[in-house]
Amino acid sequence: MSVFVWIEQFNGTPVSLSWEVLGKARQLADARGTTVAAIVLGQGVEEIARQAIGYGADTVYLADDATLASFRLDPYAAVLKRLIEEHQPAILLWGGTSRGRELAAAVSADLGLGVAAECLDLRLDDEGNLVATRPIYTGNILTDVVFRRRPQMATVRARAFPMPEADASRSGEVIAIPAVLREEEIPVKVVGFEQAGTGEVSVAEANIIVSGGRGVKGPEGFQPIRELAAVLGAAVGASRAAVDAGWIPYKHQVGQTGKQVRPDLYIACGISGAIQHLAGMRTSKVIVAINKDPEAPIFQVADYGIVEDLFKVVPALTEVLKERLAR
Ligand SMILES: Cc1cc2nc3c(=O)[nH]c(=O)nc-3n(C[C@H](O)[C@H](O)[C@H](O)COP(=O)(O)OP(=O)(O)OC[C@H]3O[C@@H](n4cnc5c(N)ncnc54)[C@H](O)[C@@H]3O)c2cc1C
């Protein structure tokens, strides 16, 4: 009755959220006196299986096959469903990326299981059952979810748990398993990939985000935001108002209909703090708000508030931090 974790990879590179989830799985399994199994699907991904052992897996189920080279729902879900049926894990965890959420949803629907999505915390109750904490009502309330059926499944939001230390001396077993579907049974074909970003830090993965809202007043108003972000090694975020105005592309949008983020530091500049924006960032570890209006709702969730014109504060912060951080 072990804890299973799906390890996501793209082009042979593991997604770091998978290691965060695996580290948490290790803690849960230790608390239950049980084992952790990682599931690695892809082609030429044996190295990821070895890394999974270093990050806490006792066993790795490795399906290495040309049909699994790129993520496709049908062949991936087929392997996952077979593993669940054969091994009946107590708990199955997924990183809450778009692929992880899609796969978890498909597997849960096909097997009639529940899945708690976007979890921020996981623990075991006195009977050893999973209790998953997730935000509801656009992030205003955190609720605990318990499960009627097994495996108890949850997707986990990025940075909910710390990155574990890899231990290259750990030992474990890699078990090769076959793909379930043949190529001719898979309706979706991957014809190629197009790179969207140009080396900028993505809001979904950033430790620090500097966001701009309608208060930046135009596309050029994002320049001081970008400069502060560059000094901090941060990603640039935005409110929907700024995105809808065409000042910055949608991929930067934070909120209910944008990215849900949980960085160590979120700096909101000229953002009022509408509930739909807070839904995407209120669980950030430290929130700094810069806004001219002392009544702006963003100050209700901010750890530090600066009531001032962002065009004065942001360049001043950039200068000071440039010196302090010597960048
Ligand atoms: C279904 C739905 C989904 C939505 N999803 C999202 C979402 O995902 N993300 C999102 O962000 N919004 C979302 N919204 C929109 C949301 O309701 C707000 O309209 C939006 O967040 C407002 O953006 P804002 O804070 O940038 O703009 P405003 O609310 O106009 O606030 C601008 C702020 O800038 C301040 N300001 C102005 N000039 C300066 C200056 N020089 N210096 C400092 N401060 C200044 C003002 O005091 C003000 O507080 C959604 C709405 C709906 C209905």
Report which protein residue has its CA nearest ligand 1's atom 39.
215
Percentage above 90 pLDDT, the chain: 88
pTM of the complete model:
0.81
In which residue ranges of the chain is CATH 3.40.50.1220 found? 208-325
- 122-160 pLDDT, tens digit each: 999 999 999 999 988 877 788 999 999 999 999 999 888
In which residue ranges of the chain is CATH 3.40.50.620 found? 3-185
CA of 251 from ligand 1 middle (Å) equals 16
Report which protein residue has its CA nearest ligand 1's atom 9.
255
- Residue 141: predicted pLDDT: 85
Task: Give residue 92's pLDDT band: very low, low, confident or very high (50, 70, 90).
Answer: very high
| Best probe residue, ligand 1, of 276, 288, 295 (max atoms within 8 Å of C-beta) | 276
Identify whether the C-beta of residue 80 lies closer than 8 Å to the C-beta of residue 7.
Answer: no
CA distance 178 to 61: 10
Identify whether the C-beta of residue 109 lies closer than 8 Å to the C-beta of residue 77.
Answer: no
- 204-251 pLDDT, tens digit each: 889 999 999 999 999 999 999 999 999 999 999 999 999 999 999 999
Q: Name the CATH architecture for the domain at 208-325.
A: 3-Layer(aba) Sandwich (3.40)
CA distance 205 to 259: 10
310-325 vs 222-232: helix crossing angle, rounded to 10: 20
Burial 219-241 (b: 16+ CB within 10 A, else e): eebbebbbbbbbbbebbbbbbbb
Tell me the fold of 3-185.
Rossmann fold (3.40.50)
Which tokens go with 255? 């909120």
> Cis before residue 151, ω within 30 degrees of 0?
yes
3-state secondary structure 261-298: CCCCEEEEECCCCCHHHHHHHCCCCEEEEEECCCCCCH
- 153-195 pLDDT, tens digit each: 999 998 889 999 999 999 999 999 999 999 999 999 999 988 7
